[in-house]
Chain A
Amino acid sequence: MDSLIDPSDTESVDLGNDLDVVEQLEDVALDFLTQLCRSGMKAQRDASDADSSASEDTKPSNSKAKLNIRIPLADRTKPNDSATHGLKYLTYPRKLASGSARPIAQLFKVINLMHEAIHNDVPATKRRVLIYLSELQSHYHRRDIYYKDVQLFKTQKVVDTLVDDIAATLQVDRSNLNVRATSKGTFCGSGLTIHLLTGEMIRGNDAEATLIPVGEDIESFDFDNEVKWVLIVEKDAVFQTLCHLKLTNHPRLSSRGLMITGKGYPDIATRHLVKTFVPILALVDSDPYGIDILSVYRFGSRALHHERERLAAERVEWLGVWPSELTRYGIEKDDLIPITEHDRKKMDKSRDYQAFSLLQRPRSQMPTKWRKELIHMLHNRRKAEIEILCSRNLPSSQSNAEDDVDVDVDVPDDSPATSNSFKLPANTPMACGSSSTHSRSPLLQYLIDKLLHTAMVPPIG
C-alpha cells in the first residue's frame, strides 16, 4: 500500500480513510485474539498455581483454558443518542444447540472479506469498467459474501445483519466496507441527470422510469433549477402509473417535479436532497405501515440509525393519502379495508409498525397530524391503499376542462440494450389498470389537486 503524504490529494485521503477502516477491522480481530490469549494464559497460571499448592487431597485441576470471550457489536435495536448505538455482545462459550462458535466464525468471515476487498480496491477515479477481477475482488455484494460459505452462514439474512452491525460498530457506511448495496430504486423526471464515475450520464425522462445506479458508481447529481417539488412514491406500481401520466411535467402544473420510488429515496436523499430546498412530499398507503414508511423517510429507521443524519430529510411532508380526506375524494366508507389486529397491536420489535407502537413514539418522531390521522383510522377501523383512488369518480369540481381530451400516452418500447442503459422493462405492472392511462385518472386528479393545494405548487397561468 502506498504511503499517504499529501492531504490535498483526495485520492490519498480516500486511501487514508480506507486504511482507518482496515485498522478498525483488524482491531476487532486483534481484540478477539487478545481475549483468547488471556484466557489461555489465565488457565495456565491457575493450573501452575494449583500445582504449586497441590496437596494429596486436591484433585488435579483442569488445565484446559476457560475461555470467556466477549466481542462488542453495536446493537442497532437500541439507539443511544444521535449517532451511536447501545451494545450487544457475541460471547463464547454460550449454551446454544448449534454451538456458540458459529456466530464468531460468521463475523470474522465477513470481516475477512471486507478487509480483503478494501486492500484490493483500486482508487475509485481510476476505475474504467464495472467488472470484477475474479481473484482480486475489490467489492463484495452481500450475495457474494453469502455464497462464499453457505454452510457457515446458512441464510442471507445473517450476512445482511452482520454487514449492518459491523458498519454500525465501526460507525462507517457500508460502502466504506466495500460492500455494495443493490439499488432497485428508480426515479422519473427530466430535471435530474446523474453523472457516473465512468463519465457517462443518465438523463431522466418525464414519461418513464429510470433505474438509479448503485451509490458507488455515482459521481454527482445534476438537478435542474426548474424542479420545484420531489415526490416519493412508496409503491412501484403506483410510481409506474404516475410516470406514464407524466406527472413530473404536467400541463396543469406550472413547475416540473421529480418522482422517486421509496427504494430509491435513500440514494438520492443522501447525495442531493439534503442540500436543496424543494419540498419533499411522500405518497404512502393510508395505513399504519404507510405511516411507518413515512417516518422512515423523515426520521430514518432504527435499524439504520447510524446513517440517520445523512438519510433523514426533516422537510419530508405527508402529501397523502390521508384517512381524513377519503370521503372528500368520493371514497365510500364501505370501500375501505378493515383494520386487523395485526395492524393494531404491538408485535415483535423488528416489525414495529403496528398502530399502537407508532402512537407510543414521542412527538418528535410522530407529528401531531400523523397521530390524529392514525387515531381516526383506528376508530373508524378502516384503512386504505393508494390504489383506492383509482376506482372513484371524483366530484366534478375537481376535474378541469383541459383534461377532457385524451392524452396520448406512449408506453415505451424496450430500447436497444446498451451496456450502460438503465431502463425498466415496459411490461412492469401499473396500478389502476387501464383507467390510469386516461388523463382523467382519479389518481392523477388527486395528486394534481394535492400538489396545487397542499404543496403550494403554483398552477398554470
Chain B
Amino acid sequence: MSLAFLHSHNSKEAHQDAVWGVAWTQSDTAVSISADGSIQQWTCSSGDSYSDGPHFKTPAPHTLGLVSLSVSADGRFALYGSLEGLTTLWDLSSGEIVGKFESYVRSGEDAEPSWCVSLNPRGSTYASAGASGKLSIHSAEPGNFGQRLATIPSGRTKFGMYCAYSPDGKRVALSSETGQIYIFDVESSSLVNSFTSHAMSVRSLAWSHDCNLLLSASEDKRLVLHDVRVSLGSGGGAVATFSGHSSWVLSVDISPDGRLGLSGSADKTIKVWDIAARAAVSTVQDTGEVWSVSWRPKPPAVGTAGAFVSGGEDGVVRWWRSAGGGG
C-alpha cells in the first residue's frame, strides 16, 4: 500500500482570510471555518460549496473570526465558536441555525467566554472551555441551547485551548496553553486523569475510535500519543512521541482505523504518521501555516490509505488522497 498522498483538488472558492478549522463529515461533505468569520460547507468530491437547492442557507459571516469547530458524528450538525465566545449550532442538512449562545455574557460565577467547543457524539450537550481552564457542559437542545449544566475545574487556571468528547461520549479531553491535558468523566463530573507530556501550548487533540488513545499536538513541535487507560497519578500515560515538524503543531487527527496520525503545522507542512511504527510516512508541502486537518471518516478502500482535508493560512480548503488505488 502506497503511503504517498497527493493533492486532489481545492475548494472552488476561498475564504477571505485563513481557514482555522476543517472537518470531513460522515455525509462526505466538509465544513470549514475562517478568520474572516464565515463557515462554509463543501461537497468533498468536487470542492463546490454545498447546496441542496437554491434555498440552502449558509450563516452570514460573523464580525470576528471563528476559532473552534466540532461536527457531529452523523454529519448532521456543526457546532462552532467565535473569537469572543459566540457559540452556534448549525444544521448541515437544512441550513438552519438551531442554537446560539453568547458565552461572554456575565450570567453567573462560572460564566466565561468559551474558546473551544466540542459536540457530544450522543447529542444533547456540548463541552466548552475558556481562559480559566474549567470545563463546562452545556445543553445543545434548541430550547435551552448553551445553558450551563455542569462546570468541572481542572485544578489549574490555565487557558483552555482545545476540548474533545471521546467517541463514546463518556469523557472529555481538555488541553491547556501551558501543556497540561485533562481527562474528565462526564457522568461523575470529575477529573479522572491528567498528562504533563508537554510544557507548551497543546493546540489540538484527537481520540482514537476505541477511546483508548489520545494524540496531542503542541507548540513544542511534537505530537504525543497517550494511553488514556493509565490511571491518575501513576506518572505515565505517554506512550509515543512524534517529532519532525520544525514549528508549532497546530492540528491533529487519527484515521478511522486507528493506524495513521495526521498533523498540520506552522512549518507549512502536513505529516502522516504510522502510529504503530512511530514514524512519519508522508510529508506534504503547503503554502502557509496549516491550521486544521481532518481524515475522511469512512474507512478507506482496500489498498489505499484514505483521504483527508486541510485548511490553512491562504483561506483555501484542500483535499488530499492516497496515491494508491482510486483514493
A residues near B (Cβ < 8 Å) are: 332-334, 338, 341, 344, 356, 359, 372, 375-376, 378-379, 381
Contact = CB atoms under 8 A, between A and B. Distances in A.
Interface string B153-174: 0000001000000000000000
Contact of B65 (A334, A341, A356, A375): A375
B172 to A, nearest CB: 22
B91 interface: no
Contacts, number: 33
A333 B35 contact: no
A381 B177 contact: yes
Contact of B84 (A334, A359, A372, A381): A359
B201 interface: yes
B266 interface: yes
A378 B83 contact: yes
Nearest to A375: B65
B213 to A, nearest CB: 27
A366 B97 CA distance: 29
B266 A372 contact: no
A376 B83 contact: no
Q: How large is the interface on B (under 10, 10 to 19, 20 to 34, 35 or more residues)?
A: 10 to 19
B83 A333 contact: no
A379 B17 contact: no
Given A356-B84, A379-B65, 10 more contacts: A333-B219, A333-B247, A333-B266, A359-B63, A375-B35, A375-B65, A376-B18, A379-B20, A379-B35, A379-B83
B319 interface: no
10 contacts: A333-B219, A356-B84, A372-B17, A372-B35, A375-B17, A375-B83, A379-B20, A379-B67, A381-B159, A381-B177
A372 B20 CA distance: 14
> Chain B at the A interface: mostly helix, strand, loop or mixed?
loop
A143 B64 CA distance: 45
Contacts of B18: 376
B248 A333 contact: yes
Interface string B34-69: 010000000000000000000000000001110100
Give the residue among A333, A378, A379 with the most B Cβ atoms within 10 A: A379
A338 B161 CA distance: 14
A329 to B, nearest CB: 15
Contacts of B247: 332-333
Nearest to B221: A334
A225 B40 CA distance: 52
B131 interface: yes
B228 to A, nearest CB: 26
Contacts of B35: 372, 375-376, 379
Contacts of B131: 341, 344
A327 to B, nearest CB: 8
B248 A359 contact: no
